[in-house]
Amino acid sequence: MKASKAKTAGISVVAVALILALALFVLFFTGQNNPPLFGGPVSVVDALGRTVEINLPVNRVIITGKSAFPVTSVAYMFPEAASVLYGLDQRTASVPLFRLVDPNIEAKTVSDDIGAGSDSPNVEELAKLKPDVVLFKTSVKLQVAESLEALGIKAVYVDLENLDSYRRDVKLMGRIFGNEAKANSILSYYEEKYGYVLAKTSSLPQSQRPRTLLLFYSTKGGTISFNAPGAGWLQTSMIDAAGGYPLSKELGGTGWNTVSFEQIAAWNPEIIFLVTYSQNPTPSQVRDNILSDPMWRNLAAVKEGRVYAVPDDAHLIAIGSWDAPNSRWILGQLWMAKKIQPGLFADLDLVKEVKQFYMEIYGLSAAQADEILQQITGDL
Amino acid sequence: MRLLVRFLAITAALLGIFCLSLFLGRYSVNFQELLSSGLASEILFNIRLPRILAAALLGMALAAAGAALQSAFKNPLVEPSLLGVSQGSAFGAALAILFFVNSPVVIEASSTAFGLLALLIAYLLSSSLKYGGKILRLVLAGIAVSAIFSGGVGIIKTMADPLNQLPALTFWLLGGLSGAGWGDLLYMLPLALCGIVALLLLRWRINLLTLRDDVTFSLGTDPGKLRALVVIFAVLAVAAVTSVAGVIAWVGLIVPHIARKIFGADNSRIIPASLILGAGLMIAFDTVARTLTAGEIPLGVVTSLCGAPVFLLLLSRGGES
């Protein structure tokens, strides 16, 4: 009798402790970190380490300034974006994917006077549009954000240059749009696909990595120039992750470096990826020219026919190429892996993957995803 | 006799630099390879040779124009960019890059036209200035025109598409011969050659411009007309090469000074010597630009980096010879 009483007491102590622990656990994970259910202030830390207090729910969000495109491309993954994004520029509004995600996009465009593409957008023009929050890529000057805050407009910086900054910035955007579940599902998609590629390629020795070169062909400035990405750029790490040896990594730093044909010949790449970010010429036209040019025919990549135009799903208007740090770099990563290591990725069905990406991440219907697939240029 | 030896020496140096440059590059070419590999001969004859010849022409045009202008304005600090020609050409090219993408002919024509326009404006402006002598007025007008056009280039830079047009514009403004092939060489040859040959023919008379204007006049030459003629041919040569190579500073300034060190103050010797030295020096600079690193270094950066110290060195030893 005594023993059983003691036993009951013991059980109830354990039970109370468990309930307390559970309550603490729930409190900890749902506490001040989460946006309040019915709106209110929430504080976020942005890519520059600034703490910004934002009133939820947000009603009007503007994404503008230099390199805004990757930010817009991630924002539209959130279903809330279609109702709160405003003040887009003409070029962004012409992207087929965005037009499907946000059918009213045309009505929300504004003139480029607000500073689309500039590292210092016009604060007064922005204020006229009365946004709650303005999202900038880190390439926009900090003074702009400070001036906006002085006018009571919140400015938040995101970076999105690599997987690490995706992890931080997608979560950040999830909190602003009030949809952290979507942020988590976006991130788990990127982690899964990137992990799938790395698992097959990371142990490849140097001898099994084809010498690969990504070239940005430009005819601007009166002469033809070939430009290769430096060691610190996304394209370089994408080639590396895809199981290739990125030749241009010996070029220091970030950004495009002009390289001569001579340098390309000295590298003698086994695989060449081409981008032009332009409709004239398209990467596919440049590929055809290179394959038929007597000077290029001595290069290994041309001999083996391994010269590929990088896919692009936005009419080649410089913002839809899969090598650039917009949301589709993950598709570019899968595509590169299949081109560089066809044996390892024989089971990878790219068309299926691409369709799944548009449907799962952007919420398109199967018919809409097919519509985008039809418009993709390059050697998918 | 000693002068002949010196001329032969600098000509030999030019030929030496030319041959050395032909066999220097990121892709290593030797004689056996030249015979066996198609790629090696393609690189030698279709990539390096036209580029070296273009560099030579560029150096000749800038150096001859610099020498002629320094005498015409009796000012050892004059170079083509002083009269607004370089900035005018740059503005013309930038305008074309912004509005007529992908058309080299338009870019080069626009650049030449604006280079000449800049000179014309500077010339007309100088006659309405009420300060200093004729020469000072022209120099002042040139500085003003230069500033206006470089402001214009600044505006175009802010309007340019940062992903596509800005890199091309920046590289062009820093100057360079990357991608210069036979076509570019043929494009700049007629105008540049016309200017260079005219200056060469005028070399005896350019000496007259270094005298006081009333002395020149008493010798039976109208200094105003002669000066105008010299300036026009110099600008023609500079605009033609600038339209392909972009803005290249310092060479037009330092080469005539080096020539004067070796051959004295007589323009009949300085002009030909500047042609040879200018060609040699520019080939050397461009070889550095294309071989030092895997990415191209803009030629204008190399000439500024090397040119400015050389200029200081020349000035600091000015009194010796």
Report domain extents, chain A.
40-195, 205-375
Of A251, A256, A280, nearest to B102 by CB-CB distance is A280
DSSP secondary structure letter of residue B176: -
Q: Chain B residues with CB inside 8 Å of A228's CB?
A: 295
**CA–CA distance, A367 with A365 (Å, rounded to integer):** 5
Encode pLDDT of B12-68 as tens digits: 999 999 999 988 888 877 777 777 767 888 888 888 999 999 999 999 999 999 999
Of residues B65 and B216, the one with the higher pLDDT is: B65
Name the minimum distance, in Å, from the CA of B190 to any CA of chain A: 18
Instruction: Count Cβ–Cβ pairs < 8 Å, chain A vs chain B.
Output: 111
Number of CB atoms found within 10 A of residue B60's CB: 27
Alpha-carbon distance of A158 to A137, in angstroms, equals: 5
Asked whether the beta carbons of residue B290 and residue A262 sit closer than 8 angstroms, the reply is yes
Instruction: Give the Cα separation of A87 and A42 in Å (integer).
Output: 24
Tell whether omega for the bond before A281 is within 30 degrees of 0, i.e. cis. yes
| The domain defined by A40-195 carries CATH number 3.40.710.10 | no
Does the residue B288 lie in any domain?
yes
- Radius of gyration, CA atoms only, chain B: 20
CATH code of the domain containing B251: 1.10.3470.10
- pLDDT band, residue A9 (cuts 50/70/90): low
Q: Pick from A216, A220, A258, A264: which is nearest to B296 by CA?
A: A258
* pLDDT band at residue B171 using 50, 70 and 90 as cut-offs: low
Closest CA of chain B from A251, distance in Å = 6
Residue identified by tokens 């503007």 is A62
Strands A211-218 and A40-45: unpaired
Q: What is the DSSP string of B114-128?
A: HHHHHHHHHHHHHHH
Q: Does B101 touch chain A (CB under 8 A)?
A: yes
A275, closest residue in chain B (CA to CA) = B164
Does residue B65 sit within a domain?
yes
* Cβ-based burial of B75 (10 A; exposed 0-12, middle 13-18, buried ≥19): middle
B184: contact with A, CB 8 A cutoff: yes
pLDDT at B226: 87
Q: What is the ipTM of this complex?
A: 0.73
Number of domains comprising chain B: 1
Neighbours of A216 (CB within 10 A): 26
In the DSSP assignment, the letter for residue B47 is I
Residue A120: name the closest of A155, A88, A96, A81 by CA. Answer: A155
Q: Coil, strand or helix: which one is B234?
A: helix
Q: What is the pLDDT of residue B83?
A: 77
pLDDT, tens digit (0-9, with 9 covering 90-100), for A206-238: 999 999 999 998 876 556 788 899 888 889 999
Beta bridge partner(s), residue A309: A274
Strand ranges (DSSP E) for A159-254?
Answer: 211-218, 225-229, 245-246
B21, B42, B111, B244: which to substitute to probe chain A, counting the most A Cβ within 10 Å?
B42
Q: Could you give the angle at the alpha carbon of B206 between the alpha carbons of B203 and B211, nearest 5°? A: 145
Query: Nearest residue of B to residue A263 by CA position?
Result: B26
Task: Quote the domain boundaries for residue B180.
Answer: 2-316
Residue B321 lies in a domain: no
More confident site: A306 or A230: A306
Is residue B217 one of the residues assigned to a domain? Answer: yes
Secondary-structure class of domain A205-375 per CATH = alpha beta
| List of chain B residues whose C-beta atoms are within 8 Å of the C-beta of residue A318 | 161, 163-164
Is residue B33 domain-resident? yes
Q: Read off φ and ψ for residue A63, nearest 5 degrees.
A: -120, 115
| pLDDT tens by residue, B90-136 | 888 888 877 776 566 787 778 878 888 988 898 788 888 877 777 78
